[in-house]
Amino acid sequence: MKKLSVILSALVMSTAAMAQGTYLEFKMSSAEGMGGTMKTYTQDGNVRTEMNMVMPAMPGGALRRTALILKSDPKTSYLLNDEQKTYTVNTMGDKEPSMADHTDYEVTVIGKEKVNGYEAAHVRVKAKGSQLEEDLWTSPGVLSYDKYKASLTKYTSANMYKALAAKGADGFPVRIVAGEHGRNMQMDLVKAETRSNPASLFSLAGYTQTEGGYTGSMREGAQNAVNAIQNMTPEQRQQWIDSIRRAHGR
């Protein structure tokens, strides 16, 4: 899933360059009960991504994350804590988000299929030297992809995108199936539209910066998990332990 997110992130970033704002919504699911949604809003070069996940093996059973990338500083991302009204900062340095992947990929074209209302190319992708294979369905029909494809040059450095294009399978992912050890996560595009998104979605007004960057945010998340475990009843704690064992096939 991490490698597939490279091409997904690059294409989502490319929609931010469109004259109109966009809204993308993905649904995520797995046989282990983990699932949720990912919603992305773009406007005038700004990007907001909201992820809400149900995770049975995690204390509290849920994970919510909101991230911003602003046109004024595209090499910096902001991770928002909506409950605490705080945010942490992550600086990506000199690397563009789409250029962070240097892996070589092998792409096998499976065929043409209609997925989520789109005519799509079904391909199997494998990073060279890895045994893990991931399935991807791409379509040029998402958000008039063929009309603004020429403007994607800034975001086409990801090696996976190049490998897909070489096989005639370039397009926006409308379905992704990835995983390991027999446990797959499926991500489906359920909505893609142009819209005018309010400036308030891309504002840090009302939020206070906390120190520690993403590492600090992870520590905060870990502490919240510890607190959730401590507040569980014995029955809830046993159910949580059982869900972890099922997730690992034990």
Question: What would the mean pLDDT of 197-219 be, rounded to a whole number?
Answer: 77
Mean pLDDT of 207-228: 58
pLDDT, mean of residues 126-137: 84
CA torsion, ordered 140, 14, 180, 62, to nearest 10 deg: -120
Give the separation between CA 176 and CA 101, rounded to whole angstroms: 18
pTM for the whole structure:
0.74
For residues 141-155, average pLDDT: 62
With cut-offs at 50, 70 and 90, classify the pLDDT of residue 107: very high
| Spatial distance between the Cα atoms of 59 and 96, rounded to a whole number of angstroms | 34
The token duo for 56 is 């049975």
Number of structural domains (the chain) is: 1
Q: Average pLDDT of 121-150?
A: 81
Query: What is the rounded CA–CA span in Å between residue 96 and residue 63?
Result: 27
Please report the pLDDT score of residue 87 as a whole number. 92
At 42-85, the pLDDT tens digits run 898 888 999 888 866 555 566 788 999 898 888 888 999 888 89
Write out the residue range of the structural domain in which residue 227 sits: 2-247
Residue 172's pLDDT is what?
85
- Range from 13-17, 68-72, 197-201 that averages highest in pLDDT: 197-201
**CATH code of the domain covering residue 136:** 2.50.20.10
Distances (CA, A) of 202 to 10, 38, 132: 19, 16, 36
Assign 222 a pLDDT band (cuts: 50, 70, 90): very low
User: Using 50, 70 and 90 to split pLDDT, how confident is the model at 188?
Assistant: very high
Q: Quote the strand ranges of 133-204, DSSP E.
A: 133-139, 172-180, 183-194
In whole angstroms, what is the distance from residue 241 CA to residue 80 CA? 29
* pLDDT reading at 6 higher than 90: no
- pLDDT score of 99 more than 50: no
pLDDT of residue 226: 45
* pLDDT of 223 strictly over 80: no
Q: Does residue 194 have a pLDDT over 60?
A: yes
Q: How far apart are CA 250 and CA 248, in angstroms?
A: 6
The SS3 of residue 174 is: strand
Reduced to 3 states (helix: H, G, I; strand: E, B; else coil), residue 51 is strand
Give the torsion through C-alpha atoms of 144, 149, 150, 154, to 10 deg.
130
- The DSSP secondary-structure symbol of 18 reads S
CA 60/CA 226 separation, integer angstroms: 10
What's the pLDDT at 13?
65
Question: pLDDT band at 17, cuts 50/70/90?
Answer: low
Query: What local confidence, expressed as pLDDT, does residue 54 receive?
Result: 80
- What span, in angstroms and rounded, lies between the C-alpha atoms of 37 and 202? 19
